[in-house]
Amino acid sequence: MDLKTLCEINAPAGNEGEIRKAIVERAKEFCDDVKIDRMGNVICHKKGTNPDAPHVAIAAHMDEVGFIIRGYTEDGMLKFSPIGGIDPRVIVSKWVLVNGETKGVIGAKAIHLQSKADREKLLDYDSLYIDIGAKDKAEAEKLAPLASYVSFISSYEEIGDGFILAKALDDRVGCYNMLRLLEDSYPCDVSFAFTVQEEVGLRGSMGAAFGIDADIAIILEGTACNDLGDVKERFHVCTPGEGVAVSFMDLSTIADKELFHAMLSIASENNIKAQVKRSVTGGNDAAAFQRAKEGCRTVVLSVPCRYIHSPSSMCKKSDVDAQYELSSAFLKQYK
């Protein structure tokens, strides 16, 4: 399954059914042990050939950021809330799909009608609405019932010098590479966890990590870059085209020191492009795996993504491949 197909599936956190179905169908082509747990995570297990090797979990989240309908105006506009962290400044005038079938656009007061105070104030979600062309509140309620999920309408494009432009690169890049990894066999036991609801607090991975009970967990992610404009180089998080980003720490996890250095060494030995993520920011499913049961050694491998959590994220195809290559090389070392 290609990355384009995965990115263009709509699956905001809590509504992962379509992406889960696609992943299960593909995973069953290469793995006989594919299960869906109570939270909706997809867990695939492959038995290794070396009984002395550790049990390794590889995890990536299926969900993406999106919105949910929470009310209406009398003239038929939809009021909504974000699912996950989305800056309201990046969403005005963007096309969206409501409930999987109704198109709309995110609107705000026109610039011509704004007061000086309005223009100086940061837009918040109470100031925004989704316009689906409904004639009144009754029609809006019929077309978009309360709790309807909303996704960005955004196509996958390959542009410029090896860049990919798409929604949901966070974390369809990880899902894509896990499906590639599933095609191979390894010396160690490997459990592949395609998790749900990461964007709203690691909710799926908490159960997945407890059930898998691995010795080591490798989290495949997308991460912010902060490499553009007048940002000084020392504040860059990572750089597209410089390879997969290996994290030493974020706001919820400190990487296992041995695993961190092992990843960089394996990358160097195998001529795989890798870089160190140079900022202690964000969080991901590593936190759940690190804290499960008696604990788990964790490390995070991320693809640098510009404009993350927006309808138009960008990453380098070469970095996506580097994430796959480093993960594969790590798993194959346990001979």
Residue 266 structure tokens: 């394996």
Distance CA(210)–CA(292), nearest Å, equals: 5
Catalytic residue among 198, 199, 221, 242: 198
DSSP single-letter state for residue 199: G
Length reported for the chain: 335
- Residue 198 is among the residues annotated as catalytic for this protein: yes
Distance CA(325)–CA(303), nearest Å, equals: 12
Distance CA(22)–CA(18), nearest Å, equals: 6
Q: Which residues pair with 305 in a beta bridge?
A: 224
Contact assessment for residue 140 and residue 76, using Cβ atoms and an 8 Å cutoff: yes
- 174-208 burial, b for 16+ CB within 10 Å, e for fewer? bbbbbbbbbeeebbbbbbbbbbbbbbbebbbbbbb
Measured in whole angstroms, how far is the alpha carbon of residue 262 from the centre of its chain? 24
Torsion angle (degrees, nearest 10) of CA 142, 95, 311, 317 = 110
Residue 78 structure tokens: 């939809």
Distance CA(242)–CA(252), nearest Å, equals: 25
**Catalytic sites, residue numbers:** 198
